[in-house]
Amino acid sequence: DGQGAASDAKFLAVVGGTKSEDEDFLAHSVLQLWNCAVLGSVIPRELMAKALNRFRSQVMKDETMLHAVVGLLKAFHFRKGDKHMQVHLNHEHPAAEYQCGRLLAVLSALQYSALGDVGAGVVQRFYGAASQTPRTVMGSLVRNSNHHLAKLEGGLRHWYQGNIAEIMARLGDEFPKTFTLEQQSLFALGYYQQMAHDHANRGSKRSENNAEKNQEVAK
């Protein structure tokens, strides 16, 4: 919810994040992750790919994302030496795939602010393509965002415009053509961390608004 770091996941919750819904429990994954935990070794790419598939499924079905799955994706990059991955959102992360994930999260929040709950939104319809072949969809999503921006009032509209402009400036002239599995996992982390960041900001704004109302009542 953006209000703080998630609590440490239990070992079997992390293992469970590497299997699909219709897959039996795999002793092989238990052994691999146990060795990673004890030896502090790099997370196997095979397990990262399984966690990524689980994350993508949860996002596209609009299900609650498991913190253990996100944590495993982040651990994969930490242990490979990614010095830019942080506990919270890193606006300056140099990877285009991370910034594309951020952008999709902002566009999804914008659509919700402009139209409310529309059922299958931007994320449910386009997450798969945006995370794998961004050039095919991201440009049109950004252009369509102008229709959503037009429905918002000044302050909120400028806030979204600023977020989109900041991310686009980091991406450069065009979107990447395709992303590898490792890049797709960074896309997922960019999306997740931007979403958590926005939730935290909304919570802060609600608190400020409530404080202002309480002061007015006191007067």
Give the tens place of pLDDT for each residue, 1-30.
667 778 888 898 888 888 876 666 677 888
**Tokens 């965002």 — which residue?**
145
Phi, psi of 188 (to 5 degrees): -60, -40
Helical residues (DSSP H) of the chain, grouped into ranges: 11-16, 27-39, 45-60, 67-79, 96-115, 122-132, 138-149, 154-171, 181-218
The whole-angstrom separation of Cα 164 and Cα 100 is 11
- pLDDT above 70 for 96: yes
How far is the C-alpha of 100 from the C-alpha of 145, rounded, in Å? 15
Closest-CA residue to 102 (of 75, 123, 74): 123
pLDDT at 217: 53
Threshold 0.85, pTM exceeds: yes
